[in-house]
Amino acid sequence: MKILIGHNRYQFRGGEDGVVDAEIRMLRHHGHEVLLIEGSNDFFETGGVPQRAAAFKNLFWSKKSYLQCRQAIRKHKPDLAHFHNIFYSLTPSVYDACRDLSVPVVQSQHNFRLLCANGLFFRNGHVCEDCVEFGRMEGVKHACFRQSRLKTAVLSYMVFHHWQRRTWQDKIDRYIMAADFTKAKYAAHGIAEEKISVKPHFLYPEPESCPGPDGRQGGVLYVGRLSREKGVEVLLTAWKNCHDIPLKIMGTGPLEQELKKFVQQQKIENVEFLGFVNDETYHRHMCQAQLVVIPSQCYENFPRIIAESYAYGIPVVASRLGSLIELVKEGHSGILFQAEDPEDLSSKVRQLMSRPEILATMSKNARELYQQNFSMEVNYKILTGIYERTISNYQKK
């Protein structure tokens, strides 16, 4: 199969970029021909006034991206196009290039951007759905995108414009979403449910073997961006009651210095900030971790660390929020706590860390869940099945 994949890279690499790279490697590993067209947001984030003005102008529809996609299709003749992030340089123009040359379109929706200005359903430290309940001016009023009313207004109008033109409804043949929760949100707000397939994330390459639960002494691990919506401050507050348990925080982000200062001021013990780490260091810490904590305060789509934790046989403690409720099997592969409640979080962590026999059972269950639902081979069958059905349905039109 020949597949055209389009993705707009983020200024700071995140989970979405990792998903795209893993899918490309998996498809090539199985002998498919993959052509990648990429955009970048660097000019939008860091460019001068002329560059940003041009970025805003092209946000709605980019002739450059249209021609780039059209040229790639004519040259390589793909069976299907699969897009991930199209904001802000690829734009919906790539859908038109595909339609003009009769190529079916699959769109992976990794966030809630089509429904919420910041893509997170998150504002002022809490879940917020005002944009879908009261209209998109709510996002503009609160400057939800990049803390700028102007940027929020432009982005919100662009998304609304394409809703009105039925771009999101009609120019995409099949949506892929990583969780039933995400599917339900989009189905409730304008995307036909029958056009949405659910495909979880996976790892490629899969991790090498590491010690069983009895040989792990690394304590608790947080892996992710250090930003408000990820709930790291809730986690650190919880650690006032868990100071005898090691906590390692892996990742960087805008709150890094603030969180380090918070730990010092609150005299929270047994917390180590690891920052950004290489693959070898990451593997070593994952092999020693007894628990992974996901304290998110926003709706998560499918945190990649879920699949990673299960692959390593690590139970997960997560917020009872969004897709985490379906991904963390309560009492089986982990445990859920009340979002934004540090006391409940510390109680759940202490409960598990004091019961090594339960941790051992959950570790085994987590690994089995990975093999059954999130392995590369399982994911490959789901993805190619979606591709084949999309092509078949398109040919019947």
Same fold yes or no, 2-108+166-203+376-395 and 213-374: yes
pLDDT value of position 359: 95
Question: Please, are residues 302 and 323 in contact by the beta-carbon 8 Å criterion?
Answer: yes
pLDDT value of position 45: 58
Domain positions in the chain are 2-108+166-203+376-395, 213-374
Q: Where are the alpha helices (H) located in the chain, listed in sequence order?
A: 15-29, 42-46, 49-58, 63-76, 93-100, 130-134, 137-141, 149-164, 167-170, 180-188, 232-238, 256-265, 279-288, 304-311, 324-327, 342-353, 356-369, 376-395
pLDDT value of position 49: 56
Peptide bond into 104 cis (omega under 30): no
In the block, which residue shows the tokens 């041009």? 54
Q: Which amino acid is at 362?
A: M
> CA-CA distance, 6 to 155, in Å (whole number)?
20
Q: Which is nearest to 111 in space by CA: 166, 175, 174, 45?
A: 175
Question: Please, are residues 36 and 2 in contact by the beta-carbon 8 Å criterion?
Answer: no
The reply to whether the predicted model has a pTM over 0.75 is yes
Q: Which two tokens stand for residue 347?
A: 């109680």
Average pLDDT along the chain, 397 residues, taken 10 residues at a time:
93 80 96 93 59 71 94 97 94 97 98 95 95 92 92 92 97 98 97 98 84 84 96 98 96 96 96 95 95 98 94 97 97 98 98 95 96 94 98 92
In the block, which residue shows the tokens 């200005």? 117
Q: Which two tokens stand for residue 41?
A: 């947001």
> CA-CA distance, 25 to 17, in Å (whole number)?
12
DSSP letters spanning 79-123: SEEEE---TTTT-THHHHHHHHTT--EEEE--SSTTTSTTSSSEE
The domain 213-374 is classified under which CATH number: 3.30.465.10, 3.30.300.30, 3.40.50.2000, 3.40.228.10? 3.40.50.2000
CATH number of 2-108+166-203+376-395: 3.40.50.2000
Count Cβ neighbours within 10 Å for each residue of 245-257 and write b for 16 or more, e otherwise.
bbbbbbbbbebbe
